[in-house]
Amino acid sequence: MKDSYGRSINYLRISLTDRCNLRCIYCMPKEGIVKRPYGDLLRFEDILKIIKAAATLGINKIRYTGGEPLIMKDIEYLIRETANIKGITDVAITTNGILLCDMADKLKEAGLKRVNISLDTLKADKYKFITRCGNLDAVLKSIDKCLSIGLTPVKINTVLLKGFNDTEIMDFVEFTKNLPVDIRFIELMPIGEGKKLYENDNLSSEVVLKEIQDNFDVISQPTSKSSTVSLYKVRGYKGNIGFISPMSCKFCKDCNRLRLTSIGDLKPCLHSDKVINLKHCLNDEKLLLEELKRGILGKPEEHNMSSKHKSESEKMMYQIGG
């Protein structure tokens, strides 16, 4: 289905929980969060009902996020049922990778096609600092595991932070030399905890790309029209380098996605607080379809972060879905 600006909307990102087994400094406060009762969250059956309705409107790509989606009990069941829905061709997850190594085989068997793994540093001490508790070795093992079983492409999401990982840019590029992974450098967004860091710690993709081009023989790679990433490769390397630049280079004109939070709020735009709660229509298929259509037609032309240097959304990323 097309939105009011002629964009084909075929991608639904679904947050399963606001809970996480890490406390990344740009995502969650140090003291943690007030946990929602599990009864407030959408049940798997609710999620599947929404996906089935969305699929009739042209949604064919599903990504599960969090919080951390892999802490959810029986997520293999959800993946399997999602993959079996008519019209759904791609099921993916975004994860911190801590639990992924031991779960990867079952997830792939269930129908998981792709994984994105969050990793902001390749140094163990810095990883523990930014996550406040994480184990880098567990994440690296998960990357190796996914590659070994063909759960590819493996995409690694790296939030650019001045004064933290700007000295590791070359290390991340070298990571793609012998491994067929996509390192995706993501500009920090002034949303949630990121608002506290943005003024001093944001680092533009343009600066990082120039640094890479000054040190490597970089060639541009093709991407799909709806892709949010600008893709490059060092000549002769197995993997790719990408840039997701919501601040310095808007990709709103080709946005193809909706978001669904763990409490049932459909968000037409990540950076707006305008939502449509779908809980009230889960038992009314016709109304559910109408609300999904309203969400698609309600997508704004673009976000306004670059002019305000902050998101209009007052929610944290762990509440919306990473």
In a domain, 300, yes or no: yes
- Return the higher-pLDDT residue of 310 and 299: 299
In a domain, 136, yes or no: yes
Residue 249, judged by CB atoms within 10 A of its CB (0-12, 13-18, 19+), counts as middle
Query: Which residues, 6 or more positions from 241, have their beta carbon under 8 angstroms from its beta carbon?
Result: 172, 173, 176, 182, 183, 184, 185, 212, 218, 231, 232, 233, 234
Question: Is there a binding annotation on residue 23?
Answer: no
Question: Is there a binding annotation on residue 281?
Answer: no
In a domain, 2, yes or no: no
pLDDT at 68 over 90: yes
In a domain, 4, yes or no: no
In a domain, 6, yes or no: no
Q: Report the percent of the chain where pLDDT is more than 70.
A: 93
In a domain, 1, yes or no: no
Question: Is there a binding annotation on residue 286?
Answer: no
* Residue pLDDT, tens place only, 133-191: 999 999 999 999 999 999 999 999 999 999 999 999 999 999 999 999 999 999 998 88
pTM, to two decimals? 0.93
Q: What CATH number should be reported for the domain holding residue 232?
A: 3.20.20.70
In a domain, 5, yes or no: no
Question: Is there a binding annotation on residue 121?
Answer: no
pLDDT score at 265: 98
In a domain, 3, yes or no: no
pLDDT score at 94: 98
Question: Is there a binding annotation on residue 89?
Answer: no
Q: Using the Cα atoms of residue 104, residue 237, residue 65 and residue 81 in order, give the sign of their dihedral.
A: negative
Question: Is there a binding annotation on residue 259?
Answer: yes
Q: How confident is the model at residue 307 (pLDDT cuts 50, 70, 90)?
A: very low
Range of the domain at 112: 11-320
pLDDT at 317 over 70: no
Question: Is there a binding annotation on residue 103?
Answer: no
Count how many domains the chain has: 1
Question: Is there a binding annotation on residue 20?
Answer: yes
CB-based contact 264:295 (threshold 8 Å): no
Ramachandran bin of 111, using left for φ above 0, alpha for ψ from -120 to 50, beta for the remaining angles: left
- Least Cα distance to 107 among 84, 135, 74, 58 occurs for 74
Question: Is there a binding annotation on residue 189?
Answer: yes
Question: Is there a binding annotation on residue 249?
Answer: no
